[in-house]
Amino acid sequence: MTIISATTTLLSRADGSAQVTSSDGTTLIASVSGPMEVRPREEQPLRAYLEVLVRPVVGVAGTRERLLESQLVSCLTPIIRLESYPRTCIQVNIQLLTHSRPIKTSRSSPPPPTILSTALNASILALIDASTALRTTVAATDITINKGRHTVVVDVFSGQLVFVDSEGEFTHEELEEALERGKKEGMVRVDDGGDVMVVDEGGGVGEEIRRVVEEKVQRDLRWKDGK
């Protein structure tokens, strides 16, 4: 799975936003609001309350969306520096625009890709766009091996596994292989000094995220050029 197109800063009322289209045909918009006022019952004295809301394009949010929300919360919680924003709320909104609903699959085919990976990549871009303090940048990829589908989320610098969601039938070796491939797809290329190298050839999802962020930064800081 790759990111086909991604744009940031498209909604004026949100702190950060990103629209991402993946090669599996999913298009969605993620927006980030916060740190902002929190509902009293969700207030936490030492950290921000992270709220993720997913909305389908047809109908109202149901169990599928609830599941996705909880997966996103568990992915994003260790990444956002929630303790930098005590007594506030950080809200991540996901609005699906197009996505092919999983069709009934035969027993021999792998489960259809989920929108989790696209949603996560869009959330990360929106969080970066909002300048929310993050511990690191992560990238998510869908990997299908035989009858198993794996959503692998890795740290783009170390390749460390952050989250994995697998479905279908797979062996332990296949899972290992998926993790290895996810790591390769998600990592950005780094030279020995620890600085990110500029690579022209197309890379995986991690490289794609870096390219989008670079574009955003250049756009935001263009006012400095005149100096």
Partner 1 sequence: MPKELDPSTNEKNFILESLYAGERLDGRELDAFRPLELEFGEEYGLADVRLGKTRVIARVSAQVVQPFSDRPFDGIFTITTELGPMASPGFEVGRQTEAEVLLARLIEKSIRRSTALDTESLCIVAGQKCWQVRADVHFLNHDGNMVDAACIAVVAALQHFRRPDVSIEGETVTVHSMTERVPVPLSILHVPICEGDGGDEANVVTLIDATLQEEQLRDGDMTVTMNKHGEVCQISKAGGVPLDPIAMHRDMNLAFVKVKEITAFIAKRLKEDEEKRVKRDNLLESKAENER
Partner 2 sequence: MTADYTTSFRLSPPTSIHTTSEPTLAHHLPFLTLRNSAPSLSTRLQKILYLLKPLHHPTMSTVLLPGSPVSLPPTNTSVPLRLGPGLTHTPPSTITAHHAGTLTSDTRKNALWIPNLTRRYTPLQNDRVICTILRSSGEAYIVAIPSSNAPAPTTITATLPHLAFPGATKKTRPQLSAGATVYARISLANKHYDPELECVDEATGKAGGLGELKGGMVVGVRCGRDWGPVLRELGKVAEFEVAVGKNGRIWVEGKDRRTTMWVVRRIAECDENTWTVEEMRKKVEATKGDL
Q: State the residues that interact with partner 1 by CB under 8 A.
A: 11-14, 27, 29, 31, 33-34, 36-37, 39, 53, 55, 57-60, 91, 93, 95, 97-98
Q: Is 185 in the site for partner 2 (CB under 8 A)?
A: no
Nearest distance from C-beta of residue 79 to partner 2, angstroms: 8
Nearest distance from C-beta of residue 107 to partner 1, angstroms: 22
Q: Per residue in 43-67, is it b (16+ CB within 10 Å) or e — as a string?
A: ebeebbbbbbebebeeeeeeeebee
Q: Is 157 in the site for partner 2 (CB under 8 A)?
A: yes
> Between residue 51 and residue 90, which ones bind partner 2 under the rule CB under 8 A?
81, 83-87
Parallel/antiparallel/unpaired status of strands 49-55 and 89-98: parallel
**Cβ distance 89 to 44 under 8 Å?**
no
Q: Under 8 Å CB-to-CB from 145, ≥6 apart: which residues?
A: 110, 170, 174, 177, 178
Residue 53 CA to residue 123 CA, distance in Å, equals: 11
Q: Which does 121 bind (CB under 5 to 8 A by kind): partner 1, partner 2, none?
A: none
Nearest distance from C-beta of residue 140 to partner 2, angstroms: 15
Nearest distance from C-beta of residue 78 to partner 1, angstroms: 24
Q: Decide whether 66 or 81 has the Cβ nearer to partner 2.
A: 81
Q: Is 169 in the site for partner 2 (CB under 8 A)?
A: no
**Cβ distance 212 to 124 under 8 Å?**
no
Q: Is 36 in the site for partner 2 (CB under 8 A)?
A: yes
Q: Is 200 in the site for partner 2 (CB under 8 A)?
A: no
**Cβ distance 161 to 152 under 8 Å?**
yes
The residues that touch partner 2, with contacts defined as CB under 8 A, are 12-16, 33-37, 81, 83-87, 128, 130-137, 155-157, 188, 193-196, 198, 209-210, 213-214, 216-227
